[in-house]
Amino acid sequence: MRNTLRTNSTGTWRWWGAIGIFGIALAPALPLFWQAFASRDGWLAGRGFPSALFNSFQVALAVAALSLLIGLPLGVATALYEFPGRGSLLAVVTMPILVPSFLWAIGWSALTAHLGPDVTAALSGHTGCVVVLLAAAIPLVLWVCHAATRNISGSQIEAARLAGGERTVLKYAIAHVAFSGVLVASLAGVLTLADPGPGLILGLRTAASEILTSFAARYDFNLAGRQCVYLTLAVLMLAIPMAIVAAPRLTAELLPRQVRSGQRSWHASVSWVLALGLFAVGLAFVILPWLGLSLPLTQSGHWSRALQEVRRTWLDTVIYAVGAGSIATILGFLLGFFAGKNHRLQVVSLGVALALFAIPPSQASLGVIYLSTNSPAWTDDLLRSRLTVCFALSIRFFPIAVVLGMRAWNSMSPSWAQAAYLHGVSPVRYGRMVVIPFLAPHAAIAGLLIALLATAEIGTVLLLQPPGHGSFPLAIFTVMANAPEGLVASLCFLYLVLATILLTGVFSLARRRLA
């Protein structure tokens, strides 16, 4: 790049760059896709797949709608107001992002088993799956809406307050962040499509559970591959129109903004209602299933064995999370750079990113295994190491980094590059002094969010972990079936406590930085 103006220019190099990034993200899944359609079975997807796909989309739609309905007002209000128990309540509500969904499903299942068959029936099938999957979707929407609300300048909030009081402030803020809320709620909905756990545990045939059945009961990689492709295509058909609507808004965020955020205020009734609302969400989606998981502790705990598992797995868990967050952020922000202000490329990138989100992680993981198996031994450090796990986890969650990356790049004013050019600043210096410092906070948020989500992902780690390098959630997953209930409960309890400590630490650090 000869001068800084090239960062604003259009050209085919942007398309090639984006294709390259998507190529990297898709590469692991391609061998199985290819085999699936080259096989003699043709294009069949299995008898029950269409109805399972329908079930999946019903659940995804319900999760997206309800997470938006609950997460958006809470996200806006937490950004605007102080309230009692702020740190603890936010930590509790956020915890499900860190916890694999199967744990919540088991928690609910254990709890309803104690409450009787009527409750069990009420919380099975569609309803049960929606309740379990909402737990992680709500905090995703909440935090994105929170961040979007913090982008509203202090003077805008003050003006709205003067014009019509708190009601106007809330209405204005909700309207401002609605677009981001809808986008992330859709992402959360798509994310549920690839998760087989709740469906299997709570008795609903979903597309992901069909794919899992093809893998784990029929050992038919080709059928599973075709089902993955159909699921991805179905998402793509929905994602492209959504991306067409979304892309202009990303461009619109180019408008210069005042950077001073509004101070959070204390408003007696709003603050208490907000605290109660967060408590209700925490109770319904976190505390109750946690109670279900912890019930066996009333009879026996296996603390020393549980602590031994923590000691054995903590380092690998951290490496996988940090590695996945870093690689996904690099890929996502690179794609954001290539997409630039090119409207068509933005639409395609968003649509493909959403569709990629729907590919079950097992598909990409098995593809990586095929790749490594058919590569020479000297590639093992790349294809059979912890770095491989980080990479596979990162491509699972990189669509999140794509959305955040595109938004971050679009927030940069093109006049900065022009000014740098006029002053003869070299591209390297411009990147070091302007671009990186500007993008760093956005990248940190993306990296942290993906690291948290990657911690809870077990399918990828299960298939790709180098021998002896499992993660802590995987340790729970592999003992939960037949281990003493007290041990499973101890492990779950420790995991949730560690998650709470981690989140509380992150919040207090963030608050200190803001202060």
Partner 1 sequence: MIPKACVVLVLAGLLAGCSRSGSSAVAPAEVVVYASVDDVFSRPIVEKFEKDTGIKAKLVVDTEETKSTGLVNRLIAEKNRPQADVFWCGDPVRAALLKSKGVTAPYKSPQLEGMPLDFTDKEHHWIGFSARARIIIYNTNLVAKGEEPASVLDLLDARFKGKACMANPLFGTTSMHATALFAKLGDEKATNFFDGFSANGGKMLSSNGEVRRRVVNGEYAVGLTDTDDYNEAREEKKPVGAVYADAKGMGTVIVPNAVMMINGGPNPELGKKFIDYLLNPETEKALAESGAAQMPVRPGVPVPAHVTPLDKLTPMPLDYPQLAERLLKLADGYLDEWARKNAK
Binding to partner 1, residues 356-385 (CB under 8 A): 362, 365-366, 369-370, 372-375, 377, 380-382, 384-385
- Provide the 3-class DSSP secondary structure of residue 153: strand
300 touches partner 1 (CB under 8 A): yes
Among 221, 338, 398, 409, binds partner 1 (CB under 8 A): 221
Among 313, 349, 455, 465, binds partner 1 (CB under 8 A): 465
Complex with partner 1: residue 137 or 202, whichever CB lies closer: 202
Nearest to 473 by CA among 106, 91, 111: 106
219 touches partner 1 (CB under 8 A): yes
463 touches partner 1 (CB under 8 A): yes
- Provide the 3-class DSSP secondary structure of residue 280: helix
Site for partner 1 in 52-111 (CB under 8 A): 109-110
446 touches partner 1 (CB under 8 A): no
323 touches partner 1 (CB under 8 A): yes
Among 39, 326, 411, 504, binds partner 1 (CB under 8 A): 326
Long-range CB contacts (within 8 A, 24+) of 305-313: 305/487, 305/490, 306/487, 306/490, 306/491, 306/493, 306/494, 307/494, 309/472, 309/475, 309/476, 309/491, 310/472, 310/494, 310/498, 312/475, 313/470, 313/471, 313/472, 313/474, 313/475
387 touches partner 1 (CB under 8 A): yes
Q: Which residues does 479 contact at the CB level (< 8 Å), separation at least 6?
A: 487, 488, 491
> Quick one: tokens of 139?
């905090």
Bridge partners (DSSP) listed for residue 153: 261
Nearest to 16 by CA among 330, 236, 334, 239: 334
**Count of C-beta atoms within a 10 Å radius of residue 56:** 29
133 touches partner 1 (CB under 8 A): no
319 touches partner 1 (CB under 8 A): yes
> Quick one: tokens of 461?
């780690």
| Contacting range for partner 1; rule: CB under 8 A; set: 3-11, 35-43, 414-422, 436-444 | 436-444
| Contacting range for partner 1; rule: CB under 8 A; set: 58-66, 195-203, 237-245, 407-415 | 195-203
What is the closest distance, in whole angstroms, from the C-beta atom of residue 391 to partner 1 in the complex?
9
What is the closest distance, in whole angstroms, from the C-beta atom of residue 307 to partner 1 in the complex?
15
226 touches partner 1 (CB under 8 A): no
What is the closest distance, in whole angstroms, from the C-beta atom of residue 487 to partner 1 in the complex?
7
Nearest to 85 by CA among 280, 275, 285, 283: 275
35 touches partner 1 (CB under 8 A): no
**Cα(314)–Cα(502) distance, rounded to whole angstroms?**
13
Among 269, 423, 482, 515, binds partner 1 (CB under 8 A): 482
